[in-house]
Amino acid sequence: MPNAKVLSEKQAVVAELTEKLKDAASGVLVDYKGITVAEDTALRAELRKNDVEYAVVKNTLVRFAINNCGMEALDDVLNGTTSLAISHSDPIAPMRVVNKFAKQFNGAKFTIKAGFMDGKVLSLDEVSALAELPSKEVLQAQVLGTMLAPITSLAIVIKAIAEKQGGSVEETASAEA
């Protein structure tokens, strides 16, 4: 039986992990066995750039934390080497970055075990599908582009009409005023 100091340290780690998991928008559990230090450094740099927390975790401690969060379905994947990537802001970021690296290594030494979003466990197919989505900023830009398209088209038509009548848009606008 572990001494009281070790036990209290482990309980503190589980409490901290539980809070991180509850506050996380999403996360991914990964089997990282076999990646080199250089590959791990590149992965961590990419994750930091995308504001994703990443850490190697002990299966037993994560099991207690996920059970505290009500995600018992993840218990089955907690074996072997495990790391955890979580994001508090962009729910797609950890899946996108981890999936990119999993593809880069052809799944031989870096594989996605499972994922979760908003407290719900996701299947591997769902994680892969979400990983293929563009970033939040790209999606916002696409929506704004779609909203601006009719206005842009109208401006082009008005300019063409003004030029057809032998003047510029500015001259036409000042003549009407």
At 102-113, the pLDDT tens digits run: 888 776 778 888
How would you label 41-74 residue by residue, b for 16+ Cβ within 10 Å and e otherwise?
eebeebbeebebebeebeeebbbbbbeebebeeb
Q: How confident is the model at residue 45 (pLDDT cuts 50, 70, 90)?
A: very high
Question: In this structure, what token pair is assigned to residue 148?
Answer: 């601006």
150 and 70 in a single domain? The answer is: no
Residue closest to 88 by CA, chosen among 44, 50, 121: 50
124 and 46 in a single domain? The answer is: yes
The domain containing residue 60 runs over which residues?
4-133
What's the residue count for the chain? 177
52 and 90 in a single domain? The answer is: yes
The answer to whether residues 39 and 46 touch, using CB atoms and an 8 Å cutoff, is no
Q: How confident is the model at residue 175 (pLDDT cuts 50, 70, 90)?
A: low
119 and 167 in a single domain? The answer is: no
Enclosing H/E stretch for 125: helix 124-131
100 and 33 in a single domain? The answer is: yes
Domain with residue 54: its CATH number is 3.30.70.1730
Q: Is the pLDDT of residue 166 over 80?
A: no
Question: Can you tell me the mean pLDDT for 45-65?
Answer: 89
126 and 148 in a single domain? The answer is: no
| Vertex 123 angle, CA 50 and 85, to 5° | 25
CA separation for the pair 149, 4 (Å, rounded)? 65
Question: In this structure, what token pair is assigned to residue 118?
Answer: 């908003």
pLDDT tens digits for 77-98? 888 888 899 988 888 888 888 8
The pLDDT value recorded for residue 168 is: 61
170 and 111 in a single domain? The answer is: no
Q: Is the pLDDT of residue 56 over 70?
A: yes
119 and 171 in a single domain? The answer is: no
User: In this structure, how many other beta carbons lie within 10 angstroms of the beta carbon of residue 129?
Assistant: 13
pLDDT tens digits for 121-145? 888 888 888 888 777 777 788 888 8
The count of structural domains within the chain is 2
